[in-house]
Structure 1
Amino acid sequence: MDDSNNKPPTFWQMLHSVMAAAFGVQSGKNRARDFTHGKPGHFIVLGILFTVVFALTLYGIVQLVVHLAKV
């Protein structure tokens, strides 16, 4: 049996889980790992940060397109 299943998820694993969950493609294996070994607060903070960065990225892309359309 893999010993890494008993460890809490790393930052990158949590970030991957948050992004996958945001797009609805989270695997059952990772979801089970997150619910078993992850701390909810970490996922909440990462989810909020991801949402803010995602919204700001979309805003920036729209601003760039609008600016280029005026030229």
Structure 2
Amino acid sequence: MSQKIRNTVKSVASAFLGVQSNKNREKDFTEGKFSHFVIIGLLGVILFIGALISIVSLVLN
């Protein structure tokens, strides 16, 4: 995985958790590509929802 994509994943994960620093957020807006953030963000949401569905179905069985 390239360094740029790795940084984008790290940034999106930090934003999901609410621990993104203002300095990193400004860096993302100046250096990052919007499309990368959207794609990785959507994948993160899909994985999160899938994990929740899996956990709930395991608990209810």
User: Which of the five TM-score ranges fits, normalised by the shorter chain?
Assistant: 0.7 to 0.9
Give the counterpart letter for 2:60 in structure 1: V
Gaps of at least 5 residues in structure 1 are 1-8
**Residues 5-60 of structure 1, C-alpha deviations (whole Å, 9 max, x = no match):** xxxx6212111111111122111121111101000011001111100000001110
Please provide the CA RMSD for this pair: 1.2
Query: Paired residues, what number?
Result: 59
Q: Which ranges of 4 or more aligned residues in structure 1 deviate by more than 2 Å?
A: none
- The reply on whether 1:61 has 2:55 as its aligned counterpart is yes
Provide the rounded CA distance (Å) in 2 between the counterparts of 1:24 and 1:36: 20
**Which of the pair is proportionally richer in helix?**
2
- TM-score, structure 1 length as denominator? 0.75
Q: Could you list the runs of 5+ residues in structure 2 that have no partner in the other structure?
A: none
TM-score, scaled to structure 2:
0.86
Q: Which residue of 2 aligns with 1:18?
A: 12
Larger Rg: 1
Greater shift, 13-22 or 39-48, is seen at: 13-22
Identity of aligned residues (%): 42
Cα distance between partner residues in 2 of 1:62 and 1:47: 23
Match in the other structure for 2:42: 48
Residue type at the aligned position of 1:14: T
